[in-house]
Structure 1
Amino acid sequence: MTFSSLSTYWVVALLLLSSCSQDQPVATTTSPTPPAPDTASTATVPIAAPAAVLSSADVVKATGHDTLRTTTGQVITVQPADLAAWQRARPDALPALPDSVDAPSLAQTGGRVQRSGLNLTLTAANGRTVVLKNDTTDTEDAIAYLYWGELPSVHQWVVNVWLWEGRYVVLIDQRTGQRTDIWGQPAASPDGRYILASSYDLAAAFDANGLQLLRLGTKGPKVIWQRELHNWGPAEARWRPDGTVVVKQGFGPTEEGTDLPPRYVTLSLPTSFR
């Protein structure tokens, strides 16, 4: 072996040893390439539509997912309706609202409700007598109790109360004589278990503007839910046979003084109320 061939041999050997050394491994700056996906086994996952956000029904125009929430956590759903739905609903059994004299239906009470001067006297089936006395003084204490009518399915006499400014309604239970003060016009449910009171006062703000729900008990009705509104007022409420309610919405006058046309919504009571 010649010297030149020997030199070549050692050079090649040193290069092979350096390439096999484990003391200082070479660091890599590139990530390994991931394997290609198996397109044959990959399924397309549908993207779920976002859930509708439940908004308050205290809005100028109702949508399909409005609610009226209660302080105890119940949710009353509110849906837009139309004039036809309102006309098909059960009308209120009360006569026209009395202004200065008792309703003509006073004579139909068989003497159990009587007017004697300033006193309106109502005698319940258990013998209890309730006397409501008018105050005709020209002061802020003035008050006038006027017999309005009755809701026989829920055993209630209805009395309208005129104040110096504003009004409200008194219910007197025909069985027990219990008095229950409510915001406004009552409407009885078809099953005789509930009363929905509606009061509309967006302009003057003397009265409550909102809804009250009362449940009938052995002694009389009890308020189980109420909600004051700010953007519309319940001008009147009517029950439907299925237990839902159609409400006629009022919006008050515009800045120009013209009245806006009414709209209509349906209320569905939660099952916890039924």
Structure 2
Amino acid sequence: MSRFDTLVVGEQVLKLYPASRELYERLPLQPWLLNEAADEGDELDPEAEERRHLRAAGQQVKRNGLALHLRCTNGKTVRLVNNPEESEENIFYEYVATLPGIKSWLVAVHLYEGGYYLLVDQASGRQTVIWSPPSVAPNGRYFVCGSSDVLSHFEPSGLQVWRVDAGRPHLIWERQAEWGVSQPRWLNNHTILFEQDFFHNGDVDTRVMRLVLPD
């Protein structure tokens, strides 16, 4: 089977291979990735989405007006404050989900143009900037963040690979590529399948790819 690309992680060369779409479709999509799977053209209301997510968030996550409060187990409260002004200073912090596999809260940060995501550690409040909602390995050892904007190029396209050591995420590999990554799903603790978006004959096409991460 031919491969379509290679990734270098440390001293290891990882290879991307085509994978079965039938197998991919049988793998579960983690719940906080479901919004990312919405059809193109669907516009989500972040405030309405957050109200829905907060109902299942528990007592540690609260919104008070413009401020989102995240209460950590060390007693610290992380306070993220929106700025609703119609200017380049506009920012909205949207609570998305609690990720038990990596003991973090996921927050979407909406800017005047574009945005990014934050992981907030539930114990310490430490904040980690990531490209997109993470897909977390079953054992919590790895997570990946895929991004795809191969048509308009407003956002980076490519892949981030993170490893969690002693409860702390470390970026071990990142690449902006000519192809994008959508809806990554784990086959096991080391193997991930994802949709690879690429520009072909004037339009975006998609194929399913497989990547095996090191032990």
TM-score bracket for the superposition, by shorter chain length: 0.7 to 0.9
Matched, 1:237 2:184: yes
Distance in 2 (alpha carbons) for counterparts of 1:141 and 1:240: 41
CA positional deviation for 1:183: 0.7
Distance in 1 (alpha carbons) for counterparts of 2:155 and 2:64: 28
**TM-score w.r.t. length of structure 1:** 0.68
Identity %: 33
Matched, 1:249 2:181: no
CA positional deviation for 1:242: 4.9
User: CA distance change for structure 1 residues 181 and 103 in 2, over 3 Å: closer, same or farther?
Assistant: farther
- Specify the code of the residue in structure 2 equivalent to 1:129: T
Between 143-152 and 71-80, the greater mean CA deviation after superposition = 71-80
Q: How is 1:85-234 mapped onto 2 (pairs within 5 angstroms)?
A: 85-94=23-32, 95-96=34-35, 99-101=45-47, 102=50, 104-230=52-178, 232-234=179-181
- What whole-Å deviation, never above 9, does each CA across 1:157-202 have from its counterpart, x for those lacking one? 1111112221211111112211100011211101111111111122
- Specify the code of the residue in structure 2 equivalent to 1:145: Y
CA positional deviation for 1:267: 0.6
Q: Contact 1:67–1:75 (CA<8 Å) still a contact in 2? A: no
Q: Which runs of 5+ in 2 are unaligned?
A: 37-43
Distance in 2 (alpha carbons) for counterparts of 1:254 and 1:104: 40
Larger CA Rg, structure 1 vs 2: 1
In the other structure, the counterpart of 1:263 is 207
Which has more strand, going by share of residues?
Answer: 2
Give 3-state SS (helix, strand or coil) of 2:35's partner: coil
Q: Contact 1:253–1:260 (CA<8 Å) still a contact in 2? A: yes
Distance in 2 (alpha carbons) for counterparts of 1:139 and 1:70: 40
User: CA distance change for structure 1 residues 266 and 103 in 2, over 3 Å: closer, same or farther?
Assistant: farther
CA positional deviation for 1:220: 2.4
Distance in 1 (alpha carbons) for counterparts of 2:89 and 2:69: 20
Q: Contact 2:29–2:183 (CA<8 Å) still a contact in 1? A: no
Q: Contact 1:165–1:206 (CA<8 Å) still a contact in 2? A: no
- What whole-Å deviation, never above 9, does each CA across 1:70-116 have from its counterpart, x for those lacking one? 36332121110132121122312315256321152312222211111
Greater length-normalized contact order (CA 8 Å, ≥ 6 residues apart): 2
Q: 1:82 aligns with which of 8, 11, 20?
A: 20
User: CA distance change for structure 1 residues 262 and 136 in 2, over 3 Å: closer, same or farther?
Assistant: same
Give 3-state SS (helix, strand or coil) of 1:109's partner: coil
**TM-score w.r.t. length of structure 2:** 0.86
Q: Contact 2:136–2:144 (CA<8 Å) still a contact in 1? A: yes
CA positional deviation for 1:207: 1.9
Q: Contact 2:151–2:204 (CA<8 Å) still a contact in 1? A: no
Q: Contact 1:103–1:146 (CA<8 Å) still a contact in 2? A: no
User: CA distance change for structure 1 residues 75 and 103 in 2, over 3 Å: closer, same or farther?
Assistant: farther
Q: Contact 2:6–2:13 (CA<8 Å) still a contact in 1? A: yes
